[in-house]
Amino acid sequence: MALSVAQLYEVMTQLPDPVFILSEDGHYIEYIGGVEQQSYQDGNPLIGKRLFDVLPADKAFWVMEQVARALAGGQVQVVEYDLSPAEVEGIDAEAGPQGMQRFEGKIAPLPSLYDGKRAVAWMTRNITRQHELQLRLKRLGETDQLTGLYNRHFFFDQYHQRVQGQPLTGLIMLDLDHFKQINDRYGHQTGDRVLCRVCDCVSAQLRGEDLFVRSGGEEFLILLPQIDEGILLKVAERIRAAVAAMTPDPAPVTVSLGTTLIRPGEELSVVLARADEWLYRAKRGGRNQVAHDGDP
């Protein structure tokens, strides 16, 4: 049994996710569905209004671009975007979800003309929870859970992007001296606390653009863009001195550092091997010191 037009419209109006019918010149022609009030505000007040009358200009331009792309290509376009109810004029922003929301939009060109104009059906779905979960999982995969620093995996992912196009970039490999003795004598909980204190101390010596990661155990890497040899050595020595000056809790802590400048086009494995060699020299030389690629 085929549905009547009235029954079909009834089904459409009860869709949990909303569908906007948008004209090529940026008018809201119709609003259908969206009855899931926990996920959406009522979009009916937008019918007949222009995108530029209800959305911030940059977002209105972006929506118009997506509509034009769907109409030009004749195929469904899939996009993701952020939008807060407070940004939309004319709706009851207090009803429904609050704050910035993440949406998936599927934009389908319609075959019919509406008042002589082409149009699309913009089907939207609130994916805020899924998006936040994905971000949390991504952060878990990129960060060290003890110190909150980025991890070795993130460093490897970011290396080429952060080094490419930079005339001079420095690398510091840092290792806590005799850290096993702290764990053995005072226990791993105390050792974890010492690690976190050292990380806070080192972070305070760095710029916002520097990348400080825990590469494993008591070893850390610091990538410093736009830095020359003299400044790199000063930063490394400042880090060494700051850690050595920390209040003993429960015992004094020192670090050894190996530093090098990254040469244009160098692979990360080569750079890490060189920094590791100079870190080893700092340890072999008595620890609590900086050894630099270029020292005699």
Q: Do 167 and 225 lie in a common domain?
A: yes
Q: Which of 135, 161, 184 is the last residue of a domain?
A: 135
Q: Is 80 a catalytic residue?
A: no
Q: Considering 65, 104, 209, 218, which one is annotated as catalytic?
A: 218
CA angle 251, 254, 260 (to 5 degrees): 165
pLDDT in tens, 235-287: 999 999 999 999 999 999 999 999 999 988 889 999 999 999 999 999 999 99
Spatial separation of the C-alpha atoms in residues 23 and 75, rounded to whole Å? 16
Q: What is the mean pLDDT of the chain?
A: 93
Q: Is the pLDDT of residue 100 over 70?
A: yes
Q: Which of 135, 170, 195 is the last residue of a domain?
A: 135
Spatial separation of the C-alpha atoms in residues 54 and 84, rounded to whole Å? 12
Q: Which of 135, 159, 191 is the last residue of a domain?
A: 135
Q: What is the CATH number of the domain that holds 207?
A: 3.30.70.270
Q: Do 13 and 113 lie in a common domain?
A: yes
Q: In what order do the strands lie in the sheet with 169-176?
A: 150-151, 211-216, 219-225, 169-176, 255-262, 290-292
State the pTM of this model.
0.67
Q: What's the average model confidence in pLDDT over 13-26?
A: 93
Q: Do 159 and 59 lie in a common domain?
A: no
Q: Do 124 and 152 lie in a common domain?
A: no
Q: What's the average model confidence in pLDDT over 91-114?
A: 93
pLDDT in tens, 21-42: 999 999 999 999 988 989 999 9
Q: In the chain, how many domains are there?
A: 2
Q: What's the average model confidence in pLDDT over 41-48?
A: 93
pLDDT of residue 7: 85
Parent domain of 193: 143-292
Query: Higher model confidence: residue 293 or residue 152?
Result: 152
